[in-house]
Structure 1
Amino acid sequence: MLSVETAKIGFIGFGNMASAMADGWIASGRVPAGNLYACASRFDTLQARCEARGMRALETARELVEAVDVVVVAIKPYLIEEVLSPLADVLANRAVLSVAAGWNCERYGALLPGVGTLSTIPNTPVSINEGVIACERTTTLDEDGAALVRGLLGLLGSVVEVESRLLSVAGTVGGCSPAFIAMVIEALADAAVKHGIPRATAYTMVSQMVAGTAKLQLATGAHPGAMKDAVCSPGGTTIRGVAELEAAGMRSAFIRAIDAIEG
């Protein structure tokens, strides 16, 4: 049986998300870089990016599928039919892991009957093994394939399984929110700089605060509202800041951002 240490993994498409996943697997120390392959439309650029990681660059998708055990579909969703349909014969004996938005198990089943697939939507912190990976509960992978793929995903961070109908919104919250939190970090750092703190120090302080607060919530399971209340003394400084954020519509702004993406 294949393991995370022995399986050969190939990326069809090697953009930001695929490279983040590759970096995370290499950083885990469990997946040898030499077991990672990639193909992409611009081979010269791909070759340089793969060589820098110790990966193998291949020129065609068919060549890649024939060389690996797990195929990661990381191309734009609108290209999937065009790229994968001609590969149905060689994909039949591979585990297919999709990171393409809008493509769930049912849709892959219609395009590639008999091919085992699992659909996920990871976020960019997978590159440092701190990601959240929204994973469709339904899969057509066999037992061994599902165990292997879920084992690989577990190296990248926290895997959250959801029903098929919730995969899109789970991916939106996990996948898009790093941009929102980066904006929060930048804004709080700007405030610190405004009051005299050097920029680099401000980013360090704010990013560590965000990381520490998140780890505290995960470790304790505390309700975020209770964590907020614990910092807000009656008549104190924090509650005045909280009141300003409420007046500015901070909560509704985040909810509206998710609503805008989900349409």
Structure 2
Amino acid sequence: MKSLENTKVGFIGFGNMAQAMAEGMILKKAVGPGQIYACAKNWEKLRKNTEEKGMNPCKDAGEVVEKADIVIIAVKPYMIQEVIKPVKQMLKGKILVSVAAGVPFDKYEEILEPGTHHLSTIPNTPVSIGEGIIICESKHSLTEEEFSLVESLLSSIGLVQSVETKQLSVAGTVSGCGPAFASMFIEALSDAGVQHGLPRALSYKLASQMVAGTGKLQLSTQAHPGAMKDAVCSPGGTTIVGVAALERRGFRSAVIDAIDAIEKKK
């Protein structure tokens, strides 16, 4: 089986998500900077974002596909067909991984040459520090060996979770849009800390570590979030007063409404 040590990774498109993935792979030493190739529309910006970190800029998608073993499509969904068209034949011998939200296996089957091995995924931004989530569509055309290689690469930068096609959208919304909601909560909690006398930097630090620690505690124990909440709420204590205030403001229903709004927009 091919190992990551001699695997070259190519990005077609090198925007925020592609850069986050590349940074995470380098940080976690899954691959070295010299094993990463990328192309993008803006050549000067691409050079700046790759060369100073030891990665390889490529003039076009053809060069990326030629150099890479795993090709990651990281462009907007509406651009996929246009980007793939010139390299369709070349992709047949490669492992293709998509990070474009809303483009599942069956859609790629319409775009790609028959027999192309591909997998659709939805990563989130914390992959840049190796603490992300990568949602993978369970329906794919990779061989067992190819999937094992891709899983090894992606698991270096986050939790790899396979879901059925019908769950792909909402799983991507929860994990992909969730960082924005969590950031808003951290900011709001920090504002409250500052209002009551904490320095801004300290308030951010405490709120962020609290969110990170609580998430890791749930993952580690598999405890029901409601039970974790109850464990902090003493009868007649301070926490339950805050919980009650959030409930009166519709905290949980607001979060559910946010997910509903996103899914209805798709």
Q: TM-score, normalised by structure 2?
A: 0.97
Q: Which residue of 2 aligns with 1:98?
A: 98
Q: Which residue of 1 aligns with 2:171?
A: 170
Cα deviation for residue 30 of structure 1 reads 2.6
Q: Which residue of 1 aligns with 2:56?
A: 56
1:39-94 superposed Cα distances (whole Å, 9 cap, x missing partner): 00001100011012110000111111111111000001000011102211100000
Structure 1 moving runs of 4+ over 6 Å: none
Residues of 2 paired with 1:59 and 1:247: CA distance?
A: 56
Instruction: Write the letter of the residue equivalent to 2:149.
Output: L
Q: Which residue of 1 aligns with 2:228?
A: 227
Q: Which residue of 2 aligns with 1:207?
A: 208
Instruction: Write the letter of the residue equivalent to 2:90.
Output: V
Instruction: Write the letter of the residue equivalent to 1:120.
Output: T
Instruction: Write the letter of the residue equivalent to 2:205.
Output: T
Aligned: 1:119 with 2:120 = yes
1:245 partner SS: helix
Residues of 2 paired with 1:52 and 1:259: CA distance?
A: 41
- Paired residues for 1:1-263 under 5 Å: 1-112=1-112, 113-263=114-264
Residues of 2 paired with 1:220 and 1:67: CA distance?
A: 43
Residues of 2 paired with 1:94 and 1:200: CA distance?
A: 46
Cα deviation for residue 162 of structure 1 reads 0.2
Residues of 1 paired with 2:144 and 2:182: CA distance?
A: 37
Identity of aligned residues (%): 57
Residues of 1 paired with 2:139 and 2:152: CA distance?
A: 16
Cα deviation for residue 23 of structure 1 reads 0.5
| More divergent stretch after superposition (239-248 vs 139-148) | 139-148
Q: TM-score, normalised by structure 1?
A: 0.98
Cα deviation for residue 141 of structure 1 reads 1.2
Cα deviation for residue 151 of structure 1 reads 1.1
Residues of 2 paired with 1:139 and 1:186: CA distance?
A: 39
Any stretches of 5+ residues in structure 1 without a counterpart? none
Residues of 2 paired with 1:50 and 1:104: CA distance?
A: 29
Instruction: Write the letter of the residue equivalent to 1:140.
Output: S
Residues of 1 paired with 2:170 and 2:219: CA distance?
A: 21
Cα deviation for residue 114 of structure 1 reads 1.5
1:196 partner SS: coil
Aligned length: 263
Cα deviation for residue 231 of structure 1 reads 0.6
1:191-225 superposed Cα distances (whole Å, 9 cap, x missing partner): 00000100001001111111111111111111000
Residues of 1 paired with 2:125 and 2:31: CA distance?
A: 18
Cα deviation for residue 12 of structure 1 reads 0.4
Cα deviation for residue 111 of structure 1 reads 1.0
1:1-51 superposed Cα distances (whole Å, 9 cap, x missing partner): 321221101000001100000001001113111000000000110001101
1:53 partner SS: coil
2:4 partner SS: coil
Residues of 2 paired with 1:192 and 1:40: CA distance?
A: 42
1:158-199 superposed Cα distances (whole Å, 9 cap, x missing partner): 111100111111011000000000000000000000001000
Any stretches of 5+ residues in structure 2 without a counterpart? none
Instruction: Write the letter of the residue equivalent to 2:98.
Output: S
Residues of 2 paired with 1:78 and 1:120: CA distance?
A: 16
